[in-house]
Structure formats: C-alpha cells, structure tokens
Chains A and B, each alone.
Chain A
C-alpha cells in the first residue's frame, strides 16, 4: 500500500508517546514542551523536506495526546484507580467495528504460537510475556481466524462483545501492584480477567457517581486547554452517557458471551 495512506493506520498510543518522548503520566505542559522542542528540530522549515513525515507524526501525536489528556485528568483522580485506562483498546480494527471481537486470556495462554501460525495478521506473540495477544481485530479472513481459535490447545481465545474489549485488554496488561512501603510492589495481572473486568466496570461506575459533585475541580486541572462552561457541561454529559452505556453493554455482553461459550 502507498505509504501516504498508512500513517494513521495501526498507530497505537504507545507510538504517540514514543514520538513525543513523553510518558503516560506526562502533564499537558510537558507534552507541549516536548512537541515544541521536537518541532524546532524536525519542522520542514528548519530540517528541509525530509522532516515532513516526522512532523506529520508529531502533529498527529500532539493532537491525540492533548485531546485525551483532558479526559485522562478526570481518570487519574482519587486513589489512582483506573489510571491509564482511556476507554480505548490496544488492538486495532481492520474494517469497521463489529459487535464481536477477539480476546486472548493471556493467563491461560501457553505460548504455543498456533494462533499466530494460522492467522498471522490478527495475532501476535509477545516474547517478553510469553503469551499471544490480538494485534488487529479481523486482520485475516474469518475462516483463518476460526481455525486459529479452534487450534488453541487450552481454549484461551474468546469471542467477546466489542464494548467490553477495552476493559479486558486494559486489565490483561500487567498492572502495577499497590505497594506497602517497599513491600508488595511490582506488576501483576488478574487471575480471572473476566471477573476482574466486571469488577472494574462496577468500580468505574461507582467512582463516576462520586465524581459528579466535585466536577469543578477537574475543570481547574484542565485549565491548560481552557474550555467554556458550556463545553465542560457537554463533555461531562457525554462522559456520563458513555460510561452508563458501557455498563449496560457489558451486562448485555456478558449474557451474550455465555451462549457462544456454552456452545464451545
């Protein structure tokens, strides 16, 4: 495919953070400073035409990260619960979003590479973690994907509702454990990711209710990219609706999931 059309494809958030050289926890101020510093090195006005492609990536990364940093502010509140969860999954989509998506329970995965063998566009092996994960949803033909699902010796590839995919993929990544002083820190991932996802969604929703009153505080946090009262109101409403809907969808999704699960 022509290179021009591929910049927006298959880019994940990590690429954006990497492009700007910032971390997930960077403030909008830090993102801005990094963006300006890099622009001054790579902008075509300074670096000539060879800076074109890199500047494109910078502009895109800046736009995505600045617009999401406002939402991230609201997420990274309280006890740090759910920090880093953006509501976006890690896998990308080939073709339009469908109601069902693939998910690998990486705790059960034994790293046999069968699925990667049968559907190489869809699945990818993480050699560090020793388990496979979904890289691109519906990256291969459906028959190939079905063969890959059936070939799994431990049956750890699941069809899940698209709505709950983001939570599942977020929780499947190793999370930082809450440390008590110097003890008990480190990384872990939940033993039963599906139960954890139910739990997570419930907590997210409870937190949302608590947040409704002190909304004003986050507005102050978000002053970096100032917004009007009407915009804040609109955003708050949209956010609420999104989260409520996600809860409902997860409930529906769970019901749906049982059926294909029982078939298998």
Chain B
C-alpha cells in the first residue's frame, strides 16, 4: 500500500502488469500422463491446485480422437465440438489411447504385441523397429505415432492451463514410470517439445509421491503433531500401464529415495487377462481387424472394465454383453475367480515390493507408512498383498490415490523453478536415486556396471579399462542400461569410439570411463586415455546419452558382426581409494 504513494499515475498501468507477472513467475506445471487418465496441477503461490477441464474433471481420459480433419484430445473430451465423447466413441477405433505403453517401444516388445487387440491398429513386423499405429478415420486407417498423439494431447492440456492461469506456460515437470528406459524418456521429451513444453524434470512417479509425503510430514511438524524423527515409507503405485514401488526415508522435509523398482504390469494386463478368460478363443476370433470385430472388441472391453470396477467393492459382478455375430457372453464373475485369473500379476507385484525392500536393506518392521496410490490400488487383492508384505493393517490415508503423483510433480515444479514460500511449505527436497544399472560392454560380452542401481543423484562414478590386444589403437565404448549380466540383455543407449590410443602391449594402457548424472537426470559419459600420460594421447570425449534414435537391438548385433572383439575392452581391478 505504501508503494502506491510513490507511483506516478501514468506508470500505474505498467506496474500493475509487472505485479501480476511477479505473482505468477514462470513456475513449472506438474503433469501426470497416465496410461488411462491424465491430470495437471500448478503451484498457486501457497498450495497445489489441480486444474479441471470444461467437463469439471480433474482426471482426464488419455486419448486423442481422429475425426475427419479435426483432432481432439481427452482434455476437452470433445466438449467444444458438436457433442462430447463417450467411452463407446473412444473404443470405436477412431481414438488412440494407451500411448504411454506404446511410446519408445520396438515391435518385438511383448507390451506392443499385447496392444494388438486394442480397437485401433497396431501393426508389428517383429524385427525391432517401431510399430505402425493408425486410427480409423472415415473407414480408413490413418497412420500416426505415439509421440504425435501424446503431443496433441499435451497441446490441449497446455491450452487448458494457460486458460486457467491467463499467462503462457513454458516449463513442465512430468512423472514417468520407474520402468521407463532412457530412450523412452527422450520420446516423452520429444512429445513435449512438439507441444511447446520444456521439460524441467522427468521424475519417477513414486518419487513425486514421496515429495508430497515429505511436505505432509513437515506440515505435521509445524503443527506440533509430528515428532521430527526419520520416517520410512513404502510407496506402491499401480496404474493402468505400469507398477512402481519406492522406499523413501523422510526427515526435515528431505525425502531420500532409498530404493526404486518397477515393471510394465498394470490394469491393462488385468483387463486383458479377464477378457481372455471370458472368451478363451479371443486371439483367434479377433485376429485381423474388421469393422465388426473392432466394434465387438470395444463392447467386450467396456463390459469387462465395468465388471472389474464393480469387483473392487462387490463379491460378484455380472457380465452380459451381446458381441453381435451371434455370440453372447453372459457370466457372473466372482472375486475369487478374478484373483485366480490374475494370480501371476499379483505375484509380480509381490516381487517388486520384495525387491524394493531388499535393495533398501529394510525389514517390513522398519516401514512406518505404506502409501498405496494409482487406480489399481482399489483392487482388494493388491491392497492385501502390499499391506501383508509390509505387515501393516492399513495404508497411509493422507493422500488421494489419483491425485498424489500430479501434486508431487507440481511441488517439484515450484521447487526447481526457484519458488520459495515464506511459510516454509516449499522447504522440501527429493534426493533421487538411479532406477537402473548403467555401464559399458567389457570383458567379452559382459556388462560392467559403472553407476549401480539406487545411487543417489547427482552421481558421478568412474572405472578403469584396458585394451585386450597388443597395439590396439581403437576401443569401442558401448553404453548400456539395465539389470542383466550380459551386455546384450540390457538396453543399448549409445556408443562411440576412442581412437589414437598409443600402441602398447595389451593391459598396459589405462582408459578411464566416467559417467555423470545431474539433477535433471541427464547422463553424460566421459572417456579417454589416462595412462600413459602426456601429449601423445587423444583428448577426452564427452557424449550425452542416449545417442541412439532407433533400432537398439540391431545396433549391438551389427557392431558385433562388423568388429567382433577387435575393439573390446577389459575392466581393470579397482584401485584402492583411501
């Protein structure tokens, strides 16, 4: 108010504008693109607010509808057009959904194979290239890519946010599954770039929830209800496409991720299992999409989905659907039956949690809170499996299972944008951990891990390698990511060659390979000759990974065929550091 006294009248308009800009600095928005639902949240200055679309939904269905020449995504749900989209329309073949499961995957991937019985076209050749995807427009398949579909969706989402905030939005924090490879992460970044969004951070979903949990614990402390000692939480997040678990240690607003694990299983697999159970000849019946088969798959999908939702609260669900072509499914599905059909999925969930606890070196008794989030956390069997493994009676009740991830992402967006809050509710930090081993090919086809799983980020590790042949002047550095012992079992991120190595007997040259991950999760690989030293060695090489764009399976094989073991490296025993 006192400032007003000194303001010259003619300047008042511009200062007013500046003020509104100051109160809305360029804060990154938080986006949670789910396999089935998507939501967006912003930090409004004192809290996180989830934005609603014109249909008053916070969780928006993830799909893009192709109709004639107009495209419309699930954000508006077609509400601005002549009529809104119904679930029936989405399953008609004209809409592409599940793009999060398809993005950055090769057609040899079993997830892509399983996506073939979706209503839209997923064509595979099984040779390790990207699958062909198309939507039905006027009874014709029109081709597109998962990146393009995601970009269209994000564009509509961005428009929604800008309408709410009344200023342009540039930066975003997105949540991704733990199981996403670095290549898939670049695909998400590509889609964001197409939509005009700059990715500030890609954070694994459970770590976003961990940040929200840290904020709530800090809040309790301010209200003198918390004790301030370290709290350990297990976060289990299972949505339609992916399943993740994390163990976090929280104290003083800092959440340290102790372990991460994840897998590509989710509600979609449960749905597929039940559909195959209801129609044992599902695959042969629906091989090759024709117009009537597409309609029939859509009907079965809807009926099954409803039944699974009903089984979360009821013991039985009735499925009665007329699939046309003189075939009818009518069945009463019991919960016990449902659990038996999906047993393998529940076992995988158990495996993920056990792995996570073992990596964090914790016993179930050490866990203070179990946080269950994601659409599938409503399934009673999932709840009992997770709580049983952690020996808890109930889960943590402070978070909304569908809104936790996006709220955490919005918090991270505000923190990483440099926003501070006088009341201290942004005095938070997540110390991320690496979800997978990173290393290079060495000692034959082996995988030499340089940065192991669950290393605190930012991380930098180096390792020494040596030549395997006398007078070897060139060496290939092939960078892989994954948990396999053999290099070929892992995901190839990229490769480069060190040339001009001084000629010497094998095993005498020392080559240092150093990997650096910064807080934005960017991986850089540095490599060069460190022994012998002097002017006769080539300069170091710095490479930002991943460099590969396509054909990851091929490249490794082609390199092996072309060069055999002539460019191989062997790892040197570790030097003793004091």
| Residue contact A56 to B459, C-beta cutoff 8 Å | yes
Chain A residue nearest to B519 (CB atoms) is A44
| Residue contact A97 to B362, C-beta cutoff 8 Å | no
- Interface flags for B352-364 (1: CB within 8 Å of A; 0: not) read 0000000001110
> Cα distance A236–B399 when bound, in Å?
42
A221 at the A/B interface (Cβ < 8 Å)?
no
| Residue contact B575 to A93, C-beta cutoff 8 Å | yes
Which one of A8, A11, A12, A49 has the greatest number of beta carbons of chain B within 10 Å?
A8
Which one of A12, A40, A225 has the greatest number of beta carbons of chain B within 10 Å?
A40
Point out the residue from B416, B512, B578 that lies within 8 Å of A5, measured CB to CB: B512
Given contacts A43-B519, A92-B578, contact A62 B456 (CB under 8 A): yes
- Interface flags for A54-67 (1: CB within 8 Å of B; 0: not) read 01100100110000
| Residue contact B254 to A5, C-beta cutoff 8 Å | no
| Residue contact A40 to B254, C-beta cutoff 8 Å | yes
Interface set, chain A 208-231, CB cutoff 8 A to B: 225-228, 231
| Residue contact B512 to A92, C-beta cutoff 8 Å | no
Stretch at the interface among A83-91, A112-120, A171-179, A193-201: A83-91
| Residue contact A228 to B577, C-beta cutoff 8 Å | no
Chain A residue nearest to B361 (CB atoms) is A227
Given contacts A8-B461, A56-B460, A59-B458, contact A96 B578 (CB under 8 A): no
B417 → A minimal CB distance (Å): 10
Point out the residue from A40, A43, A51, A95 that lies within 8 Å of B575, measured CB to CB: A95
> Cα distance A96–B457 when bound, in Å?
28
A45 at the A/B interface (Cβ < 8 Å)?
yes
| Residue contact B415 to A46, C-beta cutoff 8 Å | yes
Which one of A45, A51, A89 has the greatest number of beta carbons of chain B within 10 Å?
A45
Which residues of the other chain, A, contact B366 by a CB distance below 8 angstroms? Answer: 226
Which residues of the other chain, A, contact B514 by a CB distance below 8 angstroms? Answer: 2, 4-5
Chain B residue nearest to A1 (CB atoms) is B530
B518 → A minimal CB distance (Å): 6
Interface set, chain B 232-266, CB cutoff 8 A to A: 251-254, 256
Which residues of the other chain, A, contact B459 by a CB distance below 8 angstroms? Answer: 56, 59
> Cα distance A21–B112 when bound, in Å?
51
A32 at the A/B interface (Cβ < 8 Å)?
yes
Which residues of the other chain, B, contact A225 by a CB distance below 8 angstroms? Answer: 361
Interface set, chain B 410-438, CB cutoff 8 A to A: 412, 415-416, 418, 427, 429-431
B269 at the A/B interface (Cβ < 8 Å)?
no
Chain B residue nearest to A58 (CB atoms) is B456
B283 at the A/B interface (Cβ < 8 Å)?
no
Given contacts A39-B431, A228-B363, contact A93 B576 (CB under 8 A): yes
- Interface flags for B282-320 (1: CB within 8 Å of A; 0: not) read 000000000000000000000000000000000000000
B572 at the A/B interface (Cβ < 8 Å)?
yes
Chain A residue nearest to B362 (CB atoms) is A226
Which residues of the other chain, B, contact A8 by a CB distance below 8 angstroms? Answer: 460-462, 577
A56-B460, A62-B456 known, 9 other contacts, Cβ within 8 Å: A2-B526, A33-B252, A43-B431, A44-B518, A45-B412, A45-B430, A48-B418, A96-B575, A227-B361
Supply 13 A–B pairs (Cβ within 8 Å), ascending by A: A2-B540, A5-B462, A8-B460, A43-B431, A52-B519, A55-B458, A62-B456, A93-B575, A93-B576, A93-B577, A93-B578, A97-B575, A231-B361
